[in-house]
């Protein structure tokens, strides 16, 4: 009977150790996912902060281009009307 009890206790110990290893693996996976999530959140926050504070040069360029285009376009029309042949 003594050997049977030893086998049962060994089975319980191995079962306990296996559960412990499984929980350790799960903890490692959760830590990795948490770290990736934190890094992604920091990257998204940095991007939006940059977009908020960075000047928008395209708006200035489009405004200047429209002003120059209108001046050139309307100046040419005025000259054609006043020319006499």
Residue for token pair 């959140």: 41
Pairwise CA distance, residues 40 & 50, whole Å:
15
Domain count, the chain: 1
Which percentage of the chain shows pLDDT scores above 70? 64
Task: Read off the pLDDT of each residue in 56-69 and give the average, rounded to a whole number.
Answer: 62
What pLDDT does 31 receive? 94
Pairwise CA distance, residues 30 & 52, whole Å:
33
What pLDDT does 44 receive? 96
Residue numbers of the domain that contains 75? 2-82
Count the helices and strands in the chain (H runs, E runs). 2, 0
pLDDT tens digit string along 15-32? 887 888 878 888 899 999
Task: Read off the pLDDT of each residue in 27-50 and give the average, rounded to a whole number.
Answer: 95
Q: Which residues contact 9 (CB under 8 A, 6 or more apart)?
A: none
Pairwise CA distance, residues 17 & 11, whole Å:
10
């Amino acid at each position: 009977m003594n050997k049977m009890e030893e086998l049962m206790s060994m089975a319980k110990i191995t079962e306990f150790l296996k559960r412990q290893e499984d929980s350790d693996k799960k903890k490692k996976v959760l830590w990795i996912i948490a770290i990736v999530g934190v890094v992604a959140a920091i990257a998204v926050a940095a991007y939006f902060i940059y977009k908020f504070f960075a000047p928008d040069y395209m708006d200035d360029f489009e405004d200047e281009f429209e002003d120059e285009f209108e001046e050139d376009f309307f100046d040419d029309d005025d000259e054609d009307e006043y020319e006499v042949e």
